[in-house]
Amino acid sequence: PAAREIARDAAETVSALSLRNRPRRNRKAEWSRRLVREHVLTTDDLIWPLFIVEGDSRRDEIGSMPGVERLGIDEIVREAERAAALGIPALGLFPYTDHALRDARGSEALNAQNLVCRAVRAVKQAVPGIGLITDVALDPYTSHGHDGLLTEDGRILNDETVAVLVEQALIQAEAGADIIAPSDMMDGRVAAIREGLDKAGFLDVQIMSYAAKYASAFYGPFRDALGTTLIGDKRTYQMDSSNDSEAIREVALDLDEGADMVMVKPGLPYLDVIRRVKDSFDVPTFAYQVSGEYAMIQAAALNGWIDGEKAMLESLIAFKRAGADGVFTYFAPRVAEQLKRG
């Protein structure tokens, strides 16, 4: 009885509220929620990063990225066909280089027959309509795991590295890469790569620069995927996570140097940076939902702690809300399949 009285009192109080605005009205039914929806995620927003490994019909699991595998080139081609059928516009390709081929200078990056180049040629031949994005940086090829050339006393040489990166970019363009994506964070690399591409006649090869790339703990599983053991850290070239105005400067420089598209990386912890970049420059702006972000969602989902499908979609719409035009995500095929099912 006491409870019933309290409820009646409460109902009277509520009906006494004469609210002009009741935001909940628009949320009252699914059709209405759909009607007022502000942002949508579509398959056109997805870039699918794939890991390549030597060996046919090979699919190796990656311990820290459940659901993601390293794939032999024939398997990459199969996944590219699947991506095209799903409507995914572009793939990012990352090689797991044999340890025997890694050295201090990352020489294998300049081998026109390296894994990435062979994968690019194979996919281009089988699935010509899909965009291929290749990473320019030395870390998959160096014994020390750095993106650039390392001196004996542990410094990364900027200008000498840029010269190598230009050559790496040209080899990738020669193989058929559509977008060159420098992820190394050396100063001046975009201008040098643009000049190199243009001189070699690759006027239409785009540059998507990892413009605001932070030194991040969230890249851990990626290094596992590539078999990289990093000596030291990347803080003399990747950005400090405490900064955001510096990201604006980095993006301004890359655009000035000829970048066609820019990227902010990692993703969810840096949504504020995506928004600032988009508002400041209004150019095609991409985000990278990196390996550690993927791993966190997967780990929680596999433990039954969160609903994985919902968390995946919620994490991706966040990028759209922040102003991103597209997202590199290991969830790409799963999302595309979800969106297709409707």
**Closest separation in Å from C-beta 129 to ligand PBG:** 25
Question: Which is closer to ligand PBG, CB of 158 or CB of 201?
Answer: 158
Rounded to an integer, what distance in angstroms lies between the CA atom of residue 290 and that of residue 223? 11
Task: Verify cis geometry, omega within 30 degrees of 0, for the bond prior to 266.
Answer: yes
Neighbours of 23 (CB within 10 A): 7
- Return the SS3 of 225: helix
Question: Which is closer to ligand PBG, CB of 28 or CB of 266?
Answer: 266
- Return the SS3 of 142: strand
Question: Which is closer to ligand PBG, CB of 105 or CB of 126?
Answer: 105
Q: Which residues are catalytic?
A: 213, 265
Q: Are strands 149-150 and 156-157 parallel, antiparallel or unpaired?
A: antiparallel
Question: Which is closer to ligand PBG, CB of 79 or CB of 147?
Answer: 147
Look up residue 33 and give its two tokens: 């929620």
The reply to whether 250 sits in an annotated binding site is: yes
Counting other chains too, the contacts that 31-39 makes at CB distance below 8 Å and 24 or more residues apart are: 38/321, 39/317, 39/320, 39/321
Rounded to an integer, what distance in angstroms lies between the CA atom of residue 116 and that of residue 108? 10
**Closest separation in Å from C-beta 251 to ligand PBG:** 18
**Closest separation in Å from C-beta 138 to ligand PBG:** 8
Residue nearest to ligand PBG (CB): 222
Binding site for ligand PBG (CB under 6 A): 135, 137, 139, 147, 183-184, 219, 222, 234, 290-291
**Closest separation in Å from C-beta 184 to ligand PBG:** 6
Burial class from Cβ neighbours inside 10 Å (0-12, 13-18, 19+) for residue 56 reads exposed
Enumerate the known binding-site residues.
Answer: 250
Enumerate the known binding-site residues for Mg(2+).
Answer: 250
